[in-house]
C-alpha cells in the first residue's frame, strides 16, 4: 500500500502543476463567456463561426472536466488506501479492492501523461487543425508507390486516433502510386501533433517493380501546415486568379460532368492550389482558400527564418532533402527517426499507422 500511496501523491502533484500550467480558473471564465455568447440572438446565423465556437467550448470543457475529474478520483483513491490500510486482516475482498484501485491509478497515470503531451503544444498554431501533404520524390514509379504507402500509413494513424480527415486534392501516378496528395485533418491539436512529421522520408526495400528484384531507395516529402483562419491571413479577391475545372477524382455523379473542381492562384506570389473533392464548387473554393492561406503563412515563416539566418551569418537555402526518418525493409527491418534516435524493428506495424511513439518522442524533444 505504501507504494500505491506514493504513486497517488506523485499524481496529485502532477495534477496540481497541470492546474497551474493550463490556468484552470481562466479556462472556466472563458467557458462562461462562450456559453453567454451562444445564448445571444442570431448566434447561429453564421454557421461556420458558430461551429468553431461550439467546438472551442467543447474542447475547453473537456480539458477542465479531465483535470477536475483526476483531482476527485485521486482524493477518493487516497481515502480508499487509508481504509484498506486500517484493515487488520487482508481478506480476498480487500485484496480485490486493492487490485482494482491499482488498475484505476495506472489508467489515471496514462491519461495524465497523454494530457501532458498536449501541454507541450504551446506554439501559436499548435491547437489548430492541420493540412498534410505528401509529394513523391525523384525515382518515378518507385517514389510514387512509396508516397502511396505513406498515405496509407497516415490515414491508418488518423483512423485509429478517431481524427476525421478528407482528401482535398490528389494526383495519381501513371503506373502506380501517387504523385501528390493533400489531406485536411479536421481535429484540434492536429497541427501540433503532426508538425514533426514534416520532412523527407526515406524507404529502402527490394523493388516490386524491378524484374531483377534489386534493392532501391525511394524518397517522399511530407508537408504539414496549420489551417489558418481569415483573421490571420486575409485574401484579397483582386489578387486571386480563379479557375473551375472538371474533377478527375473517383465517384460522385458530377465528376467529369460539372466543373466543380477549383484552382486558385495568388498572383503576387505565384502560389497555386487546387481542390477537387467530390462536392460543390463553393465548398471546393472554401477548402482551396484555406489551403492557400496555409501556403502563404508557410511562405511568411520561411522569409522570416531566412532573414534571421542571414543576419546571424548562418544562412543556407531551404532544402527539399531534409531527411527525418528511414524505413528499411531490406536487408534488415528497421524504422529510425534521425532526430530523436527512436527506432523499432516492427516495420509492419509502423506502416500500418502505429507512429504514435515517434510523434511523442518528437514532442518531448521539442522538434
Tell me what the mean pLDDT of segment 56-73 comes to. 90
Q: What is the pLDDT of residues 80-137, one digit of tens each?
A: 888 887 775 567 777 788 888 889 999 999 888 878 777 777 678 888 999 999 999 9
Asked if residue 73 has pLDDT above 80, the reply is yes
C-alpha cell at 274: 487546387
Distance (Å, rounded) from C-alpha 288 to C-alpha 135? Answer: 18
CA–CA dist 117, 19 (Å, integer): 15
Task: Tell whether pTM > 0.75.
Answer: no
Average pLDDT for 217-230: 92
Q: How confident is the model at residue 271 (pLDDT cuts 50, 70, 90)?
A: very high
Q: 3-state class of 203 per DSSP?
A: strand
Residue 104: which residues within 8 A CB-CB, separation 6 or more?
73, 77
Strand ranges for the chain from DSSP E = 130-136, 165-172, 178-185, 199-206, 215-226, 240-245, 261-266, 271-275, 323-328, 334-337, 343-344
Closest CA to 337 of 364, 318, 319, 362: 362
pLDDT above 60: residue 5: yes
Give Cα separations from 88 to 84, 85, 91 (angstroms): 9, 8, 9
Instruction: List, for residues 13-51, the tens digit of each pLDDT value.
Output: 888 888 887 788 899 999 999 999 999 998 988 887 888
pLDDT for 100: 87
Residue 309 has pLDDT above 60, yes or no: yes
Cis amide bond preceding 217, omega within 30: no
Q: Which helix (H) or strand (E) holds 350?
A: helix 347-351
pLDDT at 29: 93
Q: CA-based angle 274:143:222, to the nearest 5?
A: 55
| C-beta separation of 143 from 219 below 8 A | yes
Query: In the block, which residue shows the cell 498534410?
Result: 132
Phi/psi region, residue 251 (left: phi>0; alpha: psi -120 to 50; beta: rest), is left
Closest listed residue to residue 189, CA positions, set 117, 285, 291, 246: 117
Percentage of residues in the chain with pLDDT exceeding 90?
49
| CATH architecture group of domain 2-120 | Up-down Bundle (1.20)
User: In which band, very low, low, confident or very high, does the pLDDT at 366 lie, cut at 50, 70 and 90?
Assistant: low
The domain limits of the chain are 2-120, 130-230+334-364, 237-312
CA dihedral 134, 138, 141, 144 (to 10 degrees): 0
Per the rule left: phi > 0, alpha: psi between -120 and 50, beta: everything else, 337 is beta
The CATH number of the structural domain formed by 130-230+334-364 is 3.30.70.1660
CATH number of 237-312: 3.30.160.20
121 DSSP assignment: -
Q: What is the pLDDT of residues 311-324, one digit of tens each?
A: 666 544 444 557 89
Q: What is the pLDDT of residue 319?
A: 45
Provide CB contacts within 8 A for 116, sequence distance 6+: 14, 18
Most confident of 38-42, 120-124, 146-150, 213-217: 146-150
Spatial separation of the C-alpha atoms in residues 82 and 84, rounded to whole Å? 6
Report in angstroms the alpha-carbon separations of 77 from 13, 85, 116: 14, 12, 21
pLDDT at 279: 66
Q: In sequence order, what are the residues at sequence separation of 6 or more whose Cβ sits closer than 8 angstroms to the Cβ of residue 8?
A: 74, 77, 78, 81, 105
The predicted model gives 125-150 an average pLDDT of: 92
Average pLDDT over the chain, rounded to an integer: 86
In this predicted model, what pLDDT tens digit does every residue of 151-206 receive, in sequence order?
A: 999 999 999 999 999 999 999 998 899 999 999 999 988 999 999 999 999 999 99
pLDDT at 209: 84
Q: Is the pLDDT of residue 349 over 50?
A: yes
Q: What share of the chain is helix, strand, coil (3-state, %, to 5)?
A: 50, 20, 30
C-alpha distance from residue 323 to each of 219, 232, 320 (Å): 9, 30, 9
Question: Backbone phi, then psi, for 74, in 5-degree steps?
Answer: -70, -35
Question: What pLDDT score was predicted for residue 317?
Answer: 44
Tell the residue number behind the cell numbers 483562419, with chain if given: 229
Q: What is the pLDDT of residue 89?
A: 59
Amino acid at each position: 500500500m505504501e507504494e500505491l500511496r506514493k504513486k497517488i501523491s506523485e499524481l496529485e502533484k502532477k495534477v496540481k502543476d497541470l492546474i497551474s500550467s493550463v490556468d484552470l480558473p481562466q479556462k472556466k471564465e472563458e467557458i462562461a463567456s462562450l456559453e453567454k455568447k451562444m445564448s445571444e440572438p442570431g448566434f447561429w446565423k453564421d454557421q461556420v463561426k458558430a461551429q468553431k465556437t461550439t467546438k472551442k467550448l467543447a474542447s475547453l470543457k473537456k480539458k477542465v472536466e479531465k483535470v477536475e475529474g483526476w483531482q476527485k478520483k485521486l482524493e477518493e483513491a487516497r481515502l480508499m488506501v487509508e481504509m484498506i490500510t486500517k484493515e487488520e486482516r487482508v481478506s480476498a475482498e480487500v485484496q480485490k479492492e486493492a487490485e482494482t484501485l491499482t488498475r484505476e491509478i495506472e489508467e489515471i497515470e496514462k491519461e495524465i501523461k497523454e494530457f501532458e503531451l498536449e501541454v507541450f503544444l504551446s506554439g501559436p498554431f499548435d491547437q489548430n487543425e492541420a493540412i498534410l501533404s505528401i509529394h513523391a520524390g525523384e525515382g518515378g514509379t518507385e517514389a510514387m508507390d512509396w508516397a502511396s504507402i505513406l498515405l496509407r500509413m497516415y490515414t491508418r494513424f488518423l483512423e485509429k486516433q478517431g481524427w476525421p480527415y478528407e482528401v482535398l486534392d490528389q494526383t495519381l501516378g501513371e503506373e502506380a502510386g501517387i504523385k501528390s496528395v493533400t489531406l485536411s485533418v479536421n481535429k484540434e491539436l492536429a497541427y501540433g501533433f503532426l508538425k514533426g512529421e514534416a520532412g523527407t522520408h526515406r524507404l529502402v526495400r527490394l523493388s516490386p517493380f524491378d524484374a531483377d528484384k534489386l534493392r532501391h531507395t525511394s524518397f517522399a516529402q511530407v508537408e504539414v501546415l496549420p489551417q489558418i483562419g481569415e483573421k490571420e491571413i486575409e485574401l484579397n479577391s483582386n489578387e486571386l486568379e480563379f479557375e473551375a475545372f472538371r474533377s478527375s477524382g473517383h465517384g460522385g455523379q458530377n465528376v467529369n460532368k460539372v466543373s466543380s473542381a477549383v484552382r486558385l492562384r495568388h498572383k503576387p506570389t505565384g502560389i497555386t492550389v487546387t481542390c477537387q473533392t467530390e462536392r460543390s464548387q463553393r465548398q471546393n473554393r472554401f477548402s482551396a482558400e484555406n489551403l492557400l492561406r496555409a501556403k502563404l503563412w508557410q511562405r511568411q515563416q520561411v522569409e522570416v527564418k531566412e532573414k534571421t539566418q542571414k543576419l546571424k551569418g548562418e544562412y543556407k537555402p531551404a532544402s527539399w532533402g531534409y531527411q527525418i526518418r528511414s524505413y528499411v525493409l531490406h536487408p534488415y527491418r528497421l524504422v529510425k527517426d534521425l532526430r530523436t534516435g527512436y527506432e523499432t524493428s516492427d516495420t509492419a506495424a509502423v506502416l500500418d499507422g502505429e507512429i504514435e511513439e515517434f510523434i511523442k518522442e518528437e514532442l518531448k524533444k521539442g522538434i
